[in-house]
């Protein structure tokens, strides 16, 4: 299948106009240095367009703008319902521009178009959800001694920085921007350098919706330069990063100096635990999706599939047979299941892990290389790959490969399945496959992960928290948990008695 990716006319125009500017204080401006960087299409490795390559001086400019926007009474004292109205307007504008955003995302990330369309749809709902949630920032009147009246307020933190990865650029952008704005903060968005387009589009949507200048800013540039400059800036109150665990460690150290609030959504090596009493057909279908969706470039990919020994052989042969049927190709083609990976260097990383798997003694039962279709030769494609007879202590079972590589690990008893599932430094997600309702809940409680799903893949809802135990991160995206994490709790205590307490002088 040829990879002649042809954007629609409107997206072609957007790319040709080349959004080479950053959004600071309500204006699209050049980076101070005037430098730009290429944005490529991973299906062809052709340059799609160029964006600004900002540096530390731009980071300072954008923080100053966001800090002064936070002090602007128009935003600072805006009522919750008005803020909700603006977020609702943003949701409507995302919905209106959904086709262009999804197409730009597919061209830039390489994910099949139906996946980008789903991402955009969830973003619309995310803005709607937090539009309503602005009015849920209710305080309390705790039962303090009767000569006091105490109440609590949830106030915005100030300038919040959202640093976003390349695998779900638009969705994760919304997960950070919508709750931060709902709580009344000002936001600086730093998209991944490989995938900045949808974040820039959201910046324009913020302007068009009528956010006051500087409330939502977008800056593009290398994370090691711009990201670190933002994270260490004294006027920044909170950093929310989604990225690699090693990047999370850096941000945590930087944030420690300024006692900044942080929320980290990091890597994973998530298990599916398939018991012998599971619906095998559904478990296989869903396990394929859970590892090959977005070419396995998912923090919550179920990359370790623990299969009870009674059904192990049948599971493996079904999984391998179906993996061979997955269609790779042009991600704009609606028949395609899997697009390219993000970059050639990432393909190289996956190739090295596959070599390690073979040398560790795991059995390669599907994939294990790039497709031989010459029409895919210029893109970053890699075949859906399955290793069987993997042990939990092997490198391919311990480290996050972040590509289309599944490791099947046999187990005997429920206790062993739980032990193997938990035997990882990560703790983001897990799926349990069983028809025994008691076992489902029993096992769900024992799994050390931020999300456990029963008889289904990960289905995220904007209403439910998402995040990790252990090295998978700290804090939660989505739900009310995320909204609250963008606030400071304030206690106001009022003395109602006659004689104030103090020194007896």
Catalytic residues: 265, 299
In the complex, minimum distance from the CB of residue 299 to ligand NDP, in angstroms, rounded to a whole number: 3
Q: Pick from 413, 393, 397: which is nearest to 405 by CA? A: 397
Q: Which of residues 164-183 bind ligand NDP (CB under 6 A)?
A: 164-168
Phi then psi for residue 297, to 5 deg, are: -90, 65
CA–CA distance, 63 with 59 (Å, rounded to integer): 6
**Contact status: 105 vs ligand NDP (CB under 6 A):** no
Strand partners, 466: 477
**Contact status: 473 vs ligand NDP (CB under 6 A):** yes
Question: Which of 67, 102, 177, 192 is close enough to bind ligand NDP by CB under 6 A?
Answer: 192
**Contact status: 84 vs ligand NDP (CB under 6 A):** no
In the complex, minimum distance from the CB of residue 160 to ligand NDP, in angstroms, rounded to a whole number: 14
- Count of CB atoms situated within 10 Å of the CB of 327: 11
Is the separation of the CB atoms in 3 and 330 below 8 Å? Answer: yes
Q: Which is nearer to ligand NDP, 228 or 318 (CB)?
A: 228
CA–CA distance, 290 with 67 (Å, rounded to integer): 41
Q: Pick from 416, 141, 147, 372: which is nearest to 271 by CA? A: 416
**Contact status: 465 vs ligand NDP (CB under 6 A):** no
Q: What is the DSSP string of 230-270?
A: HHH-TTEEEEEEES-HHHHHHHHHHHHHHT-EEEEE-----
Within 13 Å, how many C-alpha atoms sit on residue 236's CB side? 31
**Contact status: 402 vs ligand NDP (CB under 6 A):** yes
Q: Which is nearer to ligand NDP, 228 or 388 (CB)?
A: 228
**Contact status: 448 vs ligand NDP (CB under 6 A):** no
Q: Pick from 300, 319, 309: which is nearest to 430 by CA? A: 300
In the complex, minimum distance from the CB of residue 49 to ligand NDP, in angstroms, rounded to a whole number: 16
**Contact status: 59 vs ligand NDP (CB under 6 A):** no
Size of the site for ligand NDP (CB under 6 A): 33
Q: Which is nearer to ligand NDP, 196 or 213 (CB)?
A: 196
Is the separation of the CB atoms in 190 and 19 below 8 Å? Answer: no
**Which residues, other chains included, contact 147 with Cβ-Cβ below 8 Å and sequence gap of 6+?**
495, 496, 497
Q: Which of residues 218-277 bind ligand NDP (CB under 6 A)?
A: 222-224, 227-228, 231, 241-244, 247, 250-251, 265-268
In the complex, minimum distance from the CB of residue 356 to ligand NDP, in angstroms, rounded to a whole number: 18
Is the separation of the CB atoms in 107 and 41 below 8 Å? Answer: yes
Residues 205-224: x where in contact with ligand NDP by CB under 6 A, - otherwise, as a string: -----------------xxx
Q: Which residues bind ligand NDP (CB under 6 A)?
A: 163-168, 190, 192-193, 222-224, 227-228, 231, 241-244, 247, 250-251, 265-268, 299, 400, 402, 428, 468, 472-473
């Amino acid at each position: 299948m040829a990879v002649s990716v042809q954007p629609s006319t409107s997206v072609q125009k957007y790319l040709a106009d080349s959004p080479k500017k950053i959004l600071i204080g309500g204006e699209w401006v050049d980076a101070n240095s005037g430098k730009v960087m290429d944005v490529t299409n991973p299906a062809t490795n052709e340059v799609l367009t160029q964006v600004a390559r900002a540096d530390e001086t731009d980071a300072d400019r954008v923080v100053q703008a966001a800090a002064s926007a936070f002090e602007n009474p128009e935003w600072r004292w805006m009522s919750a319902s008005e803020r909700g109205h603006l977020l609702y307007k943003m949701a409507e504008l995302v919905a209106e521009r959904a086709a262009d955003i999804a197409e730009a995302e597919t061209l830039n990330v390489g994910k099949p178009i139906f996946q980008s369309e789903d991402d955009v749809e969830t973003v619309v709902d995310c803005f709607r959800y937090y539009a309503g949630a602005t009015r849920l920032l209710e305080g309390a009147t705790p039962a303090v001694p009767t000569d006091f009246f105490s109440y609590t307020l949830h106030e915005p933190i100030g300038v919040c920085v959202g640093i976003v990865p390349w695998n779900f650029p638009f969705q994760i952008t919304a997960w950070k921007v919508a709750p931060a704005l709902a709580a009344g903060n000002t936001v600086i968005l730093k998209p991944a350098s490989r995938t900045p387009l949808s974040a820039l589009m959201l910046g324009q949507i913020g302007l068009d919706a009528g956010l006051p200048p500087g409330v939502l800013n977008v800056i593009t540039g290398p994370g090691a330069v711009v990201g670190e400059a933002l994270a260490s800036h004294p006027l920044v109150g909170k950093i929310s990063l989604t990225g690699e665990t090693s990047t999370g460690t850096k941000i945590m150290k930087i944030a420690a100096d300024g006692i900044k609030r942080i929320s980290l959504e990091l890597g994973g090596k998530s298990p599916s635990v398939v018991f012998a009493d599971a619906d095998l057909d559904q478990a296989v279908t869903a396990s394929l999706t859970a590892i090959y969706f977005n070419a396995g470039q998912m923090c919550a990919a179920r990359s370790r599939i623990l299969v009870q020994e009674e059904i192990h052989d049948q599971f493996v042969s079904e999984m391998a047979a179906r993996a061979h049927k997955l269609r790779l190709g042009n991600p704009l083609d609606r028949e395609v299941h899997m697009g390219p990976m993000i970059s050639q260097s990432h393909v190289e990383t996956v190739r090295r892990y596959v070599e390690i798997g073979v040398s560790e003694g795991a059995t390669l039962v599907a994939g294990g290389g790039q497709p031989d279709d010459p029409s895919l030769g210029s893109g970053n494609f890699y075949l859906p790959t399955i290793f069987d007879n993997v042990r939990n202590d092997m490198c391919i079972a311990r480290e996050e490969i972040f590509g289309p590589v599944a490791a099947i690990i046999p187990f005997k008893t429920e206790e062993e399945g739980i032990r193997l599932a938990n035997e990882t430094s990560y703790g983001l997600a897990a799926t349990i496959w069983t028809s025994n309702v008691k076992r489902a809940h029993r096992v769900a409680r024992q799994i050390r992960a931020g999300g456990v799903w029963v008889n289904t893949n990960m289905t995220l809802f904007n209403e439910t928290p998402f995040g990790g135990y252990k090295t998978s991160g700290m804090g939660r995206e989505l739900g009310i948990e995320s909204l609250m994490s963008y606030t400071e709790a304030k206690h106001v205590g009022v003395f109602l008695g006659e004689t104030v307490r103090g020194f007896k002088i």
